Structure 1
Amino acid sequence: MTAVTARRLGILILPGLLVAAFCVVLLAGTYSGALDAYTLGDPGPWVRYGLPIVKVLYNLSIATCIGALALAAFVLPRTGSLRRSREQKQHGAGTPEPLWEAAMQYAASAAVVWTVAAAGTTLLMYIDIAGAQAFQAGGLSADFGFFLTGLDTGRAWLVITCIAAVAAMLCIAVRSYTGVGLTLLLAAVALVPQALTGHAAGSDNHSLAVNSIGLHLVGAVAWLGVLIPFGFLAPRIAGRADAGALLRRISALALFGFVLIASSGMINGSVRMAGPEDLLTPYGQLLLAKLVLTVVLGAIGWVHRSRIIGRVESGAGALPLFWRLLGVEALIFGAVSGLAVALSRTAPPVPQEPPEVATAARLLTGEDLPPPPSVEAVWTQWHPDVFWIAVALLASYAYIRGFLALRRRGDSWPVLRLICWLLGMAGLIYVTSGAPAVYGTVLFSGHMVQHMLLVMAVPLPMVIGAPITLLMRAVAPRRDGSRGPREWILGVVHSRFAGVLSNPIVAAVNFAGSLVVFYYSGIMWYSLDTHLGHEIMVAHFLVAGYLFAQSLIGTDPGVKRYPYPIRLLVLLITMAFHAFFGISIMSSTSLIEPNWFGNIGHGWVSAIEDQQTGGEIAWGIGELPTLLLAIGVAVQWTKSSRREAVRSDRQEDKTSDAELRAYNEMLASLSKRPQDPRR
């Protein structure tokens, strides 16, 4: 395949994708009625037709920007070799390869389009909501300012536009790996407010809808976002000796994106449809068409991975077929993107608004009250948090894959560590999706159970699993100048920031001090009232507990650990403070977050009694984890002493007890000295 042919295919990918997306969104919107004139306050056809088109451009540009950054961060070699001087490695010096530089230029171009499309989407959404009142005296009305600052939708799109503008400047300015990684992280943050708007924001099953659409967006940028810049890079990749290796890395990203898109799409669709009969509605038919096209895309990806990439690596000349399939994939992805925008503008068959007569619990939590707590309810009440389920499943898959890789290589890895890691992931799913999550929103004691399990119980088996050590042993380092998951994770682990957080004193203060700050500063309200606040709370306490346990009994690198007597002292002091915190809640007569727990309306127990029960839980639930941590420190201390004794014995055997003989000779010489008569 010549470079000219590859260049032509690469150039045709984006226009073909755009044309397919624009045509499909207009056809699907017309079919579903999403583009029909409004009965009241119609903004005009140029807004009704223009908003979906601009939204398609927005979706493609943000995906391309993040995808190009992901190529630069995870796939493409930056310098061609890792054999550089220490100064270059420390400061990211060295001229980037043209291929890597081209990816960053495409990211910058996409970020500029993303910024313009985000601003246009914000303006058109305001006009779409305000209708004829959007303009006054020939210009935008003063309500536009209120839309940007007073409404959730306006604030979300204002944040997205600002993030896009900053990301565009960073894509132009930064060229170090650290800078690219931070820019990628910033651009990915823009997916959060996007997930919190639209149908998901008004969904009756809010958390499930928001998390599923968030995972859907991540899958789209991991698959579609990589496809577009990869098409432009076709002529540069076609003639490279490492083309097969690069295709395999891109295929891995596409597989990750396919799994997320397919699974989250089905979950999100189930939230908005009552049953199979809703597939006959316009919304259901568009959703079914999108699912069929996604399956076709998955089949093309399977052909890439199973038949073509191996032939490319062996030099069998399969590149022409690869690029043709890539072009077909781009056209289908354009149709999928158009269907996605049309779906976001189409009313789902299940009403997304809460009922007119709602209970206090529904007004606060968005859900009806669960049944009263019981032994049976502890195991039967579930409210899936698909984000943490996805995290746990992905982490379990990666760990099992590393474990099997070591076994196939003939290396050993304790099965107990594998079991502990899987137990930790199962515990994470239960704490975030089971009864602790269900009752954590309506009972202070339930919230305390979830909190204590997150910070004290779940991290213990995770630390024993030693995931960083497994990563270092199972995944080979890259030698071509690119960075994979191994390099990025180890870079974070050995960074100064992680070193400060993992310091035993800092970890202990964070572990214990977070309790006081969270419950007595008013931050707890945001974890109850906002979905994003709840997810941040879960992540913070999980990391705090993991770092604290890692500093005491962990074996992974990147953590400074004190001598064993000091570890026990730190553990005892921290647990004493933890017990004092529990007693302070037990003895308190003022309600924490009274506007929430005082108005939840369950009638099972008074709010103050439930809070005091929560204090008892905070005091008592830490006993077993503390004992296990103390036993772990003691066991490691004993093993360390034995290893030191064995090492000392081996040293003495090598030197024929030279140190002991020297000590005896010193004592003998002292005994032969003349005694002072004055003594």
Structure 2
Amino acid sequence: MAAGVVVALVALIAAGSFSGAFAAFQQFADPGLLARWGTPVARTASNLAAAVTLGSLVLAAFVLPAGRDGRRALSVAGLSAGVWTVAALTALVLGTSWATFLPMDDPAFGTALWSYLTDGEVGRALLGAALLAAVTSTTALLVRGPTGAAVAIVLVLGALGLQASTGHASGAASHDLAVSAMFLHLVGAAIWLGGLAGIALLGHRATTRAATVRRYSAIAGWCFVAVAVSGLVSSWIRLGSLSALETDYGALLITKVLLLAALGGAGWLHRRNVVRHLEGVQRLDGGSRRAAGLFWRLAAVELLAMGAVSGVAVALGSTAPPVPDEPIADPTPAELVTGHPLPPEPTFVRWLTEFQWDALFAYGCAAGVVVYLSWYRRLRRRGDRWPVLRAVSWCCGMLALFWVTSGGAAAYGHVLFSGHMVQHMVLAMVVPLFLVLSAPVTLLLRAVPARRDGSRGPREWVLFLVHSRYGTFLAHPIVAAVLFAGGMILFYFTPLFEWALTTYLGHVWMFVHFTLVGYLFANALIGIDPGPSRPTYPMRLVLLFATMAFHAFFGVALTSGTSLLVPEWFGLMGREWGPSAIEDQQLGGAIAWGIGELPTLLLAVGVAVQWSRSDAREARRSDRAAERDGDAELEAYNAMLARRAERSKRSS
């Protein structure tokens, strides 16, 4: 670990010296040696500490048993988050000096620092990330168990999201794609590096447990793909062409790619050799010591390479790219507001062919298809049956989610309220319908083996969420209906809407919220997966139509409204095509009113079909019972009627 930190600093100095990123500025604007070299050193320390924090939390939540090792992982996360906080604040102060060209001993530096933290978008984001790191430190040291680790992970993801938003100038070309790629890159690299560092810090006991290494290796494989894909996207945005590889920026980028390839090879060796050796040894004898020794040797190589990658990455981020990372010189109104050019006037074909890529959700959709089909294949190989139509339904759901987050709906949903409403309706009503019909929870429970060591894998986490008090409450049909219908009012008529439009974290939250609430509502009505105590079929239909009536009321309110929502966004696009902003908003209300009719009809048909099948199954059960006992129930009923008739005759 110490050697990895030293290698990171050496790589930083070497790469920075090569590219001249930290060389002295012009004499009248030089912030000083401390700011120029202290800032990247503090950023490197901050990145490494953030990685150890997230990696240790992932170990505690998904890999290690909730005992001694889990508590130690949380302690490591809490301490590293404290280091992360100090390093992030140090980098923030030194970075202010660098950004404002003011030495820290300048009398005006204090005023400049306050202005940077309160008025500057980058300063506020970095300060927010540092504060979240401090909260993470406290949380990780106080909580116990995988649930507490999961809460702390959400805090870390929020901090990394804020950090990712500062990695590309607002208003520069491909800003949204660059931010999503940076977020995916930061998360993947942090879990990969931090997970291995966390295992190393936990010591010999954890490394000799085959399950720990195997589980980490599987997670690291997904992280490697995420880092590679997001790195490729970010590199292309900043290079612009292959000829730019001949620049200093290109040379550092090639160095980073080679180091990542070496890391990928080391991870492959982990899966192929170390895990096999550890699983073949049942107790701590010479064989397991040799296997553990092999693990430590490969881990040392990985940690050293990761340190080098971290140092080169900071130097790369401080080096001017071939494509200037600056706001567009003569931006259009749409570029000023959204950070990307206004798409052409929408047509049916353009709704299918326009793209505004989101690296995080594109990767998530592809991973979702791969995981579901791998579970489906696992069932088929062992001879179990699983309906093909469920797999088709899942793939359709992932395709619809991809189109909403990266396709034509994303391109027009960012500039048109009506386009945004199409996104909302597809996320809340179409995607969940496909996901519910694919029964992913049932497939997971059948395909993924249970863990016996007290840790929580995907199966254990799903069962925990389904049966927990909070999960049961949120999945209750009435609660799900209230969230589904009432959430629209809370979202569109509060600052949440503007937050979702103007920040990437809000953007991600919006997509996750709409999809999750829609899934809970659809699962309460026609779900196949384990879930809440569902009401009777007539009550389901009443709940469905009551919710849709509220949805229609919301659409009518928008259609007849004359006050523009978020006017500083939709009202300043400078569109020369299409209806005016208020007319487009009214069109969005009509879409909210009308586009939900087909999903509502499908949900109603689904409830009716399940109702009919339930009655048919009940009739078959009654017939089988009658065959077994000679229709004793009917005979008893007829006898009871005969006795009543006899008593009535006597009384008369």
Do the two structures share a fold, i.e. TM-score over 0.5?
yes
Letter in 2 for 1:601: G
Conservation of the 8 A alpha-carbon contact between 2:412 and 2:419: yes
Alpha-carbon separation, structure 2, partners of 1:673 and 1:149: 89
Alpha-carbon separation, structure 1, partners of 2:143 and 2:127: 24
Partner of 2:311 in structure 1?
A: 338
1:440-478 Cα offsets, whole Å, 9 max, x none, are 122222222122111111111111011111111111110
Partner of 2:223 in structure 1?
A: 257
Tell me by how many angstroms 1:200 deviates.
5.6
3-state SS of the aligned residue for 1:307?
helix
Corresponding position: 1:33 with 2:20 = yes
3-state SS of the aligned residue for 1:277?
helix
Letter in 1 for 2:593: W
Counterparts in 2 of 1:237 and 1:387: CA distance versus 1, 3 Å:
closer
Residues 351-430 of structure 1 correspond to what in structure 2 (within 5 A)?
351-430=324-403
Alpha-carbon separation, structure 2, partners of 1:435 and 1:393: 18
TM-score (norm 2): 0.94
Partner of 2:74 in structure 1?
A: 104
Residues 209-228 of structure 1 correspond to what in structure 2 (within 5 A)?
209-228=178-197
Residue 10 of structure 2, aligned match among 23, 31, 56: 23
Conservation of the 8 A alpha-carbon contact between 2:626 and 2:632: yes
The alignment yields a C-alpha RMSD, in angstroms, of 2.0
Conservation of the 8 A alpha-carbon contact between 1:502 and 1:560: no
Tell me by how many angstroms 1:215 deviates.
0.5
1:534-579 Cα offsets, whole Å, 9 max, x none, are 2222222112211111111112113331110011111111222222
Aligned residues: 643
Partner of 2:239 in structure 1?
A: 273
Counterparts in 2 of 1:255 and 1:447: CA distance versus 1, 3 Å:
same
Counterparts in 2 of 1:445 and 1:466: CA distance versus 1, 3 Å:
same
Letter in 2 for 1:420: S
Counterparts in 2 of 1:368 and 1:635: CA distance versus 1, 3 Å:
same
1:343-393 Cα offsets, whole Å, 9 max, x none, are 111111101223322211111111112111112212211111111112211
Counterparts in 2 of 1:245 and 1:532: CA distance versus 1, 3 Å:
closer
Residues 371-520 of structure 1 correspond to what in structure 2 (within 5 A)?
371-520=344-493
Residue 648 of structure 1, aligned match among 622, 640, 645: 622
Alpha-carbon separation, structure 1, partners of 2:318 and 2:630: 84
3-state SS of the aligned residue for 2:573?
coil
Alpha-carbon separation, structure 2, partners of 1:130 and 1:588: 46
Partner of 2:284 in structure 1?
A: none
Counterparts in 2 of 1:649 and 1:144: CA distance versus 1, 3 Å:
same
Letter in 2 for 1:550: N
Corresponding position: 1:132 with 2:102 = yes
Residue 658 of structure 1, aligned match among 612, 632, 637: 632
Residue 289 of structure 1, aligned match among 239, 255, 260: 255
Alpha-carbon separation, structure 2, partners of 1:425 and 1:228: 34
Question: Mean alpha-carbon deviation: is it higher for 244-253 or for 208-217?
Answer: 244-253
Partner of 2:127 in structure 1?
A: 158
Tell me by how many angstroms 1:676 deviates.
5.8
3-state SS of the aligned residue for 2:647?
coil
Partner of 1:90 in structure 2?
A: none
Partner of 1:89 in structure 2?
A: none
Counterparts in 2 of 1:662 and 1:308: CA distance versus 1, 3 Å:
same
1:122-178 Cα offsets, whole Å, 9 max, x none, are 2211222233364455x9623323322222222222222222222222332222332
Letter in 2 for 1:362: E
Residue 181 of structure 1, aligned match among 146, 150, 167: 150
Tell me by how many angstroms 1:64 deviates.
0.9
Tell me by how many angstroms 1:196 deviates.
1.0
TM-score (norm 1): 0.91
1:266-295 Cα offsets, whole Å, 9 max, x none, are 111111111001111111111111011101
Tell me by how many angstroms 1:652 deviates.
2.9
Tell me by how many angstroms 1:438 deviates.
0.8
Residues 606-621 of structure 1 correspond to what in structure 2 (within 5 A)?
606-621=580-595
Alpha-carbon separation, structure 2, partners of 1:166 and 1:525: 26
Counterparts in 2 of 1:451 and 1:202: CA distance versus 1, 3 Å:
same
Tell me by how many angstroms 1:342 deviates.
0.4
1:53-86 Cα offsets, whole Å, 9 max, x none, are 11111111111122112222221223xxxxxxxx
3-state SS of the aligned residue for 1:132?
coil
Alpha-carbon separation, structure 1, partners of 2:116 and 2:213: 45
Counterparts in 2 of 1:222 and 1:172: CA distance versus 1, 3 Å:
same
Conservation of the 8 A alpha-carbon contact between 2:195 and 2:216: yes
Tell me by how many angstroms 1:397 deviates.
1.6
Residue 637 of structure 1, aligned match among 611, 617, 620: 611
Partner of 2:599 in structure 1?
A: 625
Residue 205 of structure 1, aligned match among 136, 160, 174: 174
Corresponding position: 1:54 with 2:23 = no
Partner of 1:118 in structure 2?
A: 88
3-state SS of the aligned residue for 1:77?
coil
Counterparts in 2 of 1:533 and 1:178: CA distance versus 1, 3 Å:
closer
Conservation of the 8 A alpha-carbon contact between 2:158 and 2:505: no
Question: Mean alpha-carbon deviation: is it higher for 370-379 or for 528-537?
Answer: 528-537
Conservation of the 8 A alpha-carbon contact between 1:135 and 1:141: no
Letter in 1 for 2:523: Q
1:20-59 Cα offsets, whole Å, 9 max, x none, are 1000101101111111112253111122111111111111
Tell me by how many angstroms 1:186 deviates.
2.0
Question: Mean alpha-carbon deviation: is it higher for 19-28 or for 188-197?
Answer: 188-197
Conservation of the 8 A alpha-carbon contact between 1:200 and 1:213: no
Partner of 1:311 in structure 2?
A: 277
Alpha-carbon separation, structure 2, partners of 1:491 and 1:674: 58
Tell me by how many angstroms 1:210 deviates.
0.6
Conservation of the 8 A alpha-carbon contact between 1:437 and 1:450: yes
3-state SS of the aligned residue for 2:101?
helix
Conservation of the 8 A alpha-carbon contact between 1:201 and 1:210: no
Alpha-carbon separation, structure 1, partners of 2:39 and 2:14: 14
Identity %: 48
Tell me by how many angstroms 1:100 deviates.
3.4
Partner of 1:83 in structure 2?
A: none
3-state SS of the aligned residue for 2:29?
coil
Tell me by how many angstroms 1:502 deviates.
1.7
Tell me by how many angstroms 1:525 deviates.
2.6
Partner of 2:505 in structure 1?
A: 532
Partner of 1:669 in structure 2?
A: 643
Conservation of the 8 A alpha-carbon contact between 1:200 and 1:209: no
Tell me by how many angstroms 1:640 deviates.
0.9
Letter in 1 for 2:120: L
Alpha-carbon separation, structure 1, partners of 2:562 and 2:75: 61
Tell me by how many angstroms 1:522 deviates.
4.9
Letter in 2 for 1:437: A
Counterparts in 2 of 1:215 and 1:466: CA distance versus 1, 3 Å:
same
1:590-622 Cα offsets, whole Å, 9 max, x none, are 333333333212121222332332222222211
Conservation of the 8 A alpha-carbon contact between 1:454 and 1:541: yes
